[in-house]
Copies of this chain bind each other. A is one copy, B any other.
Amino acid sequence: MPMAEAPLAPGAAIGILGGGQLGRMLAVAAAQLGLRCHIYSDDPKSPAFELAGAKTHASYEDQAQLVAFANSVSVAGVEFENVPASTLATVSAHVPVYPSPKVLAISQDRLSEKEFLRENGVAVAPYRRVDSVEELAAALKEIGYPALLKTRRFGYDGKGQCRIGSEQEKAQAVKALAAGPMLLESVIDFVREISVVVVRDRNGDTRTYEPSENTHHSQILTRSLVPAHADQMVLKTARETAQEIALQLDYVGTLCVEFFECEDEGDHKLLVNEIAPRVHNSGHWTLDACVVSQFENHIRAIAGWPLGGTDRHSNAEMLNLIGDDVAQWSTWAKDPHTAVHIYGKDEIRAGRKMGHVTRLTPKTERSR
């Protein structure tokens, strides 16, 4: 991969593979810094196209288009972690790609991600590799019930996951998930879910945003709250762990680390649930509550700029507008403390992230 050198001056172009709402918010962040954005997506209705100075609508396998895209930009990034390895190989042969294809390869496979974390001393939920029905039976014996069976690749928002509550549910799980490399994980009994958005620049300078406390429904994030209700020591440990993971990955850009906070006879400990090598839904609150958002800091990092401030000036509560929720835009718009973000998607579908709102209140160090 070519090495990036000097910071990109205003006017330079950044390429982003992927055109969803994250790409859209990255394109806006780039524009605010005077950088041009080239969005590459296989979806003609990509919401990011509208905010990008240049766009390519082509398959992720289209070598000629990928080369033309790479040659039109000074650096490239991704807005979803499952960009095919062959796509990354083509693009990174012509232009620096951040985070590196090596990092993306780790997080594209739940097993390699877990092993990477474990090897670096990061606590994760007990898990077993499962490549066959026989291995599943053995793994369930070791892990116990309830457990989660997950495909190793292409999972997000609960897709490619199946809960096995008892022996009776095993057959169902096997049927639900296509055969192929899988992972069995213990279901963790947690007191809360928190996540840390960490940014690391090309020189290794690293900053974290304050952890958010997250709520999921049907495995989709619905709410992030900052400050989280957790103890200061827990929050400090979470930030340090996220920082250490970014260091171990030699990461460049924005990374999100999701944690389970567990309690065992009064002792609080953190397990890493998963990492997302990109801007993340649980960091959307930074758009309205921080000087520089996760999106702008991602752009700054991959463009070789110094990182911007990650301190928050307000408390924030971010609520996702999922599917029909978006119909409530006019109610949210009436609240003078709420910022409304709608993603410009062409149609409402159940479970689809259509937008989010962030309610700001004056800053306090602890949640009430």
Contacts and interface: CB of A to CB of B under 8 A. Distances in A.
Nearest to A335: B309
B28 A333 contact: no
A351 interface: no
Nearest to A32: B341
A247 interface: no
Given A305-B330, A333-B308, A339-B291, A313 B50 contact: no
Count copies of this chain in the complex: 2
A7 B333 CA distance: 11
A336 B309 contact: yes
Nearest to A340: B33
A159 interface: no
Contacts of A329: 9-10, 33-34
Contacts of A28: 28, 31-32, 51
B10 A344 contact: yes
A53 B53 contact: no
Contacts of A333: 300, 305-306, 308
Interface residues of A, number: 48
Contacts of A360: 291, 313
A24 interface: yes
Interface in A309-335: 309-311, 313-314, 326, 329-330, 333-335
A185 interface: no
Contacts of A33: 329, 340-342
**Closest 10 interchain pairs by CB?**
A34-B342, A309-B336, A50-B53, A10-B342, A306-B334, A34-B344, A306-B333, A313-B314, A305-B333, A313-B313
16 contacts: A7-B330, A10-B355, A28-B31, A28-B51, A31-B344, A34-B329, A34-B343, A50-B53, A291-B337, A291-B360, A292-B336, A306-B333, A306-B334, A308-B336, A311-B336, A313-B314
